[in-house]
């Protein structure tokens, strides 16, 4: 009979929470380069407006998200269904943020991307609104709240920029070829790269979890496997081991 203890499950939950917390702290720290605007950056000069000016410029929903750091309900943004080549810009100041090339269906109900246009288009900070630290993503030019960044995205970055659709606007490459050309140049000159401390926590936590489950399997193997269920810890051991190796591969992109 399988003897996977409740303690192992608690360890699993604790490590997942710990990984998210560590990334919430370290991702902004490892991305301080976001605060540096290179001469070729497409990021506009800092946009300073009064709250009255923002309320006049933005719709109530845009103001709620961009200026009050709110969150739109999931599956309410038309940007979820956009797959045409183009650029997603800040609804507050027009700064280019993401392209369709890095957009993917995360199944969360919010527009998601695995990377911004470049190193300078967004700014990352630590958010404690839900007690546990999260990585907040804001427009680098106007400071408007866009969403949050999580470490469960696809390759090559492994990140999920979970954005509020109401905080952005879409410009197709066909209608705005000049914008598309400028974005392409900026991507080549200042490509987005994942920071080392955005990757290391995932490698460590997944490696530890894989090792714990594999050790549990070895103990049961040495005591004799009485049923196929006794080998169950081997499955999460392989799963987390693969995740650790896969995450290590992202270090090569740094």
Q: Which residues are catalytic?
A: 162
**What are the DSSP calls for 49-100, one per residue?**
--HHHHHHHS-HHHHHHHTT---PPTT--GGGG--SSEEEEETTT--EEEEG
Residue 29 CA to chain centroid, in angstroms?
15
Q: Which of 110, 132, 154 is nearest to 19 (CA)?
A: 132
Cis before residue 99, ω within 30 degrees of 0?
A: no
Rounded Cα distance, 77 and 164, in Å: 8
Residue with token string 């950056």: 41
């Amino acid at each position: 009979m399988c003897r996977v203890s409740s303690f192992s499950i608690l360890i699993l939950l604790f490590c997942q929470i710990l990984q998210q917390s560590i990334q919430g702290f370290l991702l902004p720290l490892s991305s301080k380069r976001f605060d540096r605007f290179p001469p070729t950056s497409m990021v506009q000069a800092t946009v300073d407006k009064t709250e009255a000016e923002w309320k006049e410029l933005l719709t109530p929903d845009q103001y709620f998200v961009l200026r009050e750091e709110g969150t739109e309900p999931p599956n309410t943004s038309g940007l979820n269904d956009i797959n045409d080549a183009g650029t997603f810009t800040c609804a507050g100041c027009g700064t280019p943020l993401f392209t369709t090339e890095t957009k993917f269906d995360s199944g969360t109900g919010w527009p998601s991307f695995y990377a911004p246009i470049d190193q300078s288009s967004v700014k990352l900070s630590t958010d404690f609104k839900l007690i546990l630290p999260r990585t907040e993503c804001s427009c680098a030019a106007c400071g408007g709240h866009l969403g949050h960044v999580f470490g469960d995205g696809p390759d090559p970055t492994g990140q999920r920029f979970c954005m509020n659709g109401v905080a952005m606007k879409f410009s197709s490459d066909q209608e705005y070829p000049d914008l598309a050309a400028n974005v392409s140049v900026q991507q080549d000159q200042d490509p987005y790269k994942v920071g080392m401390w955005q990757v290391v926590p995932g490698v460590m936590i997944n490696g530890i979890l894989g090792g714990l489950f594999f050790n549990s399997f070895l103990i049961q193997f040495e005591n004799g496997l009485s049923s196929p269920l006794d080998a169950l810890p081997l499955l999460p051991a392989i799963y987390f081991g693969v995740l650790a190796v896969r995450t290590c591969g992202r270090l090569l992109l740094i």
